[in-house]
Chains A and B, each alone.
Chain A
Amino acid sequence: MERRTIFPGTAFPIFLVLPQLLLTVVFFLWPAGQAIWSSMTRADPFGIRTQFVGWENFQDLFTDPLYMDSIGRTVVFCTSVATLSMGVALLLAVCADREIRGRGWYRIMLIWPYAVAPAVAAVLWILLLHPQIGLVGRALNRHGVAWDYKLNSTQAMAVVIGASAWKQVSYNFIFFLAGLQSVPKAVIEAARMDGAKGWFRFRTVVLPLLMPTVFFLIVVNFVYAAFDTFGTIQALTQGGPGKSTETLVVKVFRDGLINLDVGGSSAQSVVLMFGVIMLTALQFRFLGKKSDE
């Protein structure tokens, strides 16, 4: 992963990397350090009285069965969102990669939702799915389906998974399409000659070549599901009914921004930060390995 050819000089590259480094230190490292410090304190929201409590906030977190439930729920949620959005995207990408009429048009129609703001998407889902005022929600109830995600935990989970996955399908689609296009046509042709058919050909020839993309997207989708779905969940279910759709990020936002629990929410941020670093390391290792090849 190292380049053999390099340019000489020391001052110039430092000058080049300085702006990025400066921003990183000021806007990432320093706040992250603050978060770590706060996670070991108990403070009022205004920061007037701060006392050092060591690991107490972490102890509280990990002895709280509700927090442990939340971790499990988040894993289920992230896995479902990633599986659903990647599955749908892969299916669409495989179809759009075929030699069919109107494929350019199809592609455009499948890529644009990438640009929809989460705040807008949230409003959309309420107008569609709300059991009483949503278009689809009302239709379901009218046709005898007891649709009520405000009081049905399973439906609530399905709603937030569906809404979150929807937003991510385009992104995955773009990457899968790019990945499929880089599969050499000769390989597929060769497989066809060998008599490999449809699904079998896809599974044994195309999918292995697509695995780098799949791994990359798994990480991206997990990070997306873990962090960027707060707005969607908050707008649709606010984590309810009960705690059935409260993921870790919903909890950290609630505790930090609504409940104003500085120490507790910082401890949760630190836990999340470690999660992200691990995911990042995973992604980095994987990307690094790939460029070795």
Chain B
Amino acid sequence: MRNRVDWPAHVVLVLGVALFVLPLWLVFAGSTQDPAAIARGELSLIPRLEGFGVFASILRDGSPGTGPVWRMLLVSGAMAVSIAFGKIVISILSAYAVTFFRFPFRKAAFWTIFITLMLPIEVRIVPTYEVMSDLHLINTFPGLTIPLIASATATLLFRQTFLVIPDELVEAARIDGAGPWRFLKDILIPVSSSNLAALFVILFVYGWNQYLWPLLVATTPQLDTIVIGIVKMIGTETQTEWNRVMATALLAMLPPVAVVILMQRWFVRGLTDGEK
């Protein structure tokens, strides 16, 4: 439309980007430096070339007190993916049920799910632990993921999407003889694919960043997630290998950031759809 460069917008955006990139750069530069210098607060913004070996070293061996970083990344990845998929599946099913069917206690079921919408896990951590232990899920991968799969946020989002699906589409499907199962599989899921993508991003990030629950429920080092690994590396009353902490923090950021960036297009669109 206009050929003139929109300077004010550029200035604002560059400042905004700097606000986010500078701390990241600090972590990157810090990961290549001498840990003692960082501990003294002499953090330089210029990366040290000879310090790059730290990445290979933490991937292979981790840091004092932790296992190798590659394994923790794997656990985090498996956990985040399981949580994201689990949540999406159970939410899509329940949202489908409450929007397209009439059954006894539908309202009750619906409110049961919603009333607990945002009760954070930290508030209910001790009783939840007792349930897990009764189910013999302490120290297992399902124990790590299942309690986090229970959430109403995704159900709410799907319900919003399903509500705005035109009645004509449903009628047409019924005239074609599509049963409820086929309708879900062939029409509903494809139609809400961008919401699925958006939710996947949100839930993946959510799962990846969990800290308190994995700490409590998983006791073998084999089940350590990367976030727990970082906390383990930060020494109390002992030296902290700050360069390793920063390198690990950087590697820990990569997968969720990659998911966000790669799915950015669907992410934004999925949210727009859900909003309308």
Contact = CB atoms under 8 A, between A and B. Distances in A.
B132 to A, nearest CB: 9
Nearest to A115: B256
Interface of B: 1-2, 5-6, 8-10, 12-13, 16-17, 19-21, 23, 26-27, 30, 38-41, 43, 45, 90-91, 93-94, 96-104, 106, 109, 112-120, 122-124, 126-128, 131, 146-147, 149-150, 152, 155-156, 160, 162-164, 167, 170-171, 174, 180, 183, 205, 208-209, 211, 227, 230-231, 234, 245, 249, 252-253, 256-257, 259-261, 264, 267-269, 271-272, 275-276
Q: Is the interface of A mostly helix, strand, loop or mixed?
A: helix
Contacts of A68: none
B112 A120 contact: no
Interface residues of A, number: 93
Q: Which of A1, A132, A273 has the most CB of B within 10 A?
A: A273
Contacts of B227: 117, 119-120
A150 B167 CA distance: 60
B116 A111 contact: no
Given A14-B97, A98-B6, A277-B115, A124 B26 contact: yes
Q: Is the interface of B mostly helix, strand, loop or mixed?
A: helix
Contacts of B101: 6-7, 9-10, 12-13, 16
Contact of A19 (B93, B102, B116, B211): B93
Given A12-B101, A174-B267, 10 more contacts: A3-B162, A21-B94, A23-B150, A24-B113, A31-B131, A95-B8, A106-B13, A111-B260, A127-B38, A134-B41
A92 B12 CA distance: 7
B153 to A, nearest CB: 10
Contacts of A114: 205, 260
A196 interface: no
Interface of A: 1, 3-7, 9-10, 12-14, 16-17, 19-21, 23-32, 34-35, 88, 91-92, 95-96, 98-101, 106-120, 123-124, 127-128, 130, 132-135, 138, 166, 169-170, 174-175, 177-179, 181-182, 212-213, 216, 223, 227-228, 230-231, 252-253, 257, 269, 272-273, 276-277, 279-280, 284, 287, 291
Nearest to B91: A20
